[in-house]
């Protein structure tokens, strides 16, 4: 990764302009041709540094609701339960954490509150464990960009 | 704003993957059987009205050098949550900050995700936050394993 790649990644994290050739402005600002810019982005994605290039939505503004759920899961159930939880497209993040009360934490995102509750009920009945719904009452920050200056 | 059926189709098409080609909207238009101009004219207001936050890249933060992340949950007096939430959100290492409901086994109501390059950097961030806020108790929940992390494909089957 060179200085141009870093510049491109910084710009891509900020977001593309909505126009016919959205990558052209990125290329210009990074000082490379559009085709070079596209090749670099493709390469950074293949290498896994870019997780994905896509639209990022504000789910609540398009009728979706998201929440964070936690489960107290016995060690021996984790493997099988992970398969069940992860099989839901509505679960986008799932983490095993070092906590004695709740060790499995996952997000549910679905259309409307009913959609979210339906998924939680389904997961609960398949796991035969209590799924605790920690729905949000306020949010103060979502930051998705990382400073690349110190990365070699 | 009201989302119409075409908006849903467009959102569905670009929420999982946005083409890395010269004319990405043209390719999306082709799959939907409409013109490039129509797609752009729908996406622009969706972005202006904050339905779409941005079209861009999400990095793999592990590979970007931010390999240590920890969720810190805080028990904060109900009347102080907004004030403390705003203070915590200002810290550069905090990527997400939410207020959530409590339950009888879990007193914590403010959730912060901390992304750092090292354990030391994360611990320093936690100490800096602690010095700035009023809280009763807190707990750190380290990530032992990432079991799933993926994007959401919206309006799948709603169409």
Beta-carbon contacts of B101 under 8 Å, excluding residues fewer than 6 positions away, are A133, A134, A135, A137, B109
- Mutate which of B21, B52, B57, B149 to disrupt the A interface (most A C-beta within 10 Å)? B57
Residue A152's pLDDT is what? 45
Q: CB burial class (10 A; 0-12, 13-18, 19+) of residue B49?
A: middle
pLDDT score of B74: 98
Contact across the interface for B152 and A57, Cβ inside 8 Å: yes
Q: Give the distance from residue B115's alpha carbon to the nearest chain A alpha carbon, in angstroms.
A: 9
Q: How far apart are CA B153 and CA B43, in angstroms?
A: 16
Contacts of A25 (CB under 8 A, 6+ apart): A16, A17
CA distance B132 to chain A (A): 16
For chain B, give the percent of residues with pLDDT over 90.
Answer: 87
* pLDDT at B61 (0 to 100): 81
Lowest mean pLDDT, pick from A19-28, A139-148, B82-91:
A139-148
Interval A67-82: pLDDT, tens: 999 999 999 999 999 9
- Of B40, B98, B154, nearest to A139 by CB-CB distance is B98
How many Å apart are CA B4 and CA B20, to the nearest integer? 26
Whether ipTM tops 0.95, in short, is no
Q: Which residues of A touch B16 (CB under 8 A)?
A: 52, 54
- Name residue A71's beta-bridge partners: A104
Residue matched to tokens 């103060």: A140
pLDDT digits (tens, 9 = 90+) for B4-53: 999 999 999 999 899 999 999 999 999 999 999 999 999 999 999 999 99
* Per-residue confidence (pLDDT) for residue A40, from 0 to 100: 98
Provide the mean pLDDT of chain B. 94
First to last CA, chain A: 7
Q: Cα separation of A79 and B86, whole Å?
A: 38
């Amino acid at each position: 990764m060179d200085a141009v790649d870093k510049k491109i990644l910084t710009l891509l994290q900020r977001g593309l302009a909505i126009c016919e050739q959205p990558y052209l402005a990125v290329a210009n600002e990074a000082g490379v041709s559009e085709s070079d810019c596209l090749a670099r982005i493709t390469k950074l994605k293949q290498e896994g540094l870019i997780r994905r290039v896509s639209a990022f939505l504000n789910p609540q503004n398009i009728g979706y609701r998201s929440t964070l759920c936690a489960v107290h899961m016995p060690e021996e159930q984790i493997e099988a339960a992970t398969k069940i939880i992860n099989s839901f497209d509505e679960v986008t993040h799932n983490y095993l954490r070092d906590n004695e009360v709740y060790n499995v934490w996952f997000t549910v995102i679905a259309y409307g509150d009913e959609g979210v509750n339906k998924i939680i009920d389904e997961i609960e009945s398949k796991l035969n464990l209590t799924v605790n719904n920690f729905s949000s009452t306020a949010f103060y920050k979502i930051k998705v960009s990382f400073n690349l200056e110190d990365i070699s | 704003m009201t989302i119409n059926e075409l908006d849903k189709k467009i959102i569905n098409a670009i929420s999982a993957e946005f083409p890395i080609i010269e004319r990405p909207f043209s390719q999306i238009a082709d799959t939907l059987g409409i013109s490039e101009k129509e797609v752009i004219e729908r996406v622009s207001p969706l972005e202006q009205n904050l339905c779409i936050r941005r079209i861009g890249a999400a990095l793999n933060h592990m590979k970007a050098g931010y390999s240590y992340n920890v969720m810190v949950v805080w028990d904060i007096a109900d009347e102080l949550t907004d004030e403390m939430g705003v203070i915590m959100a200002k810290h550069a290492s905090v990527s997400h900050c939410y207020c959530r409901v409590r339950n009888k086994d879990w007193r914590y109501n403010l959730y912060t995700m901390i992304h750092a390059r090292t354990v030391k950097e994360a611990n320093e961030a936690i100490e800096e936050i602690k010095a700035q806020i009023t809280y009763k108790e807190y707990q750190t929940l380290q990530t032992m394993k990432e079991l799933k992390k993926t994007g959401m494909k919206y309006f799948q089957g709603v169409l």
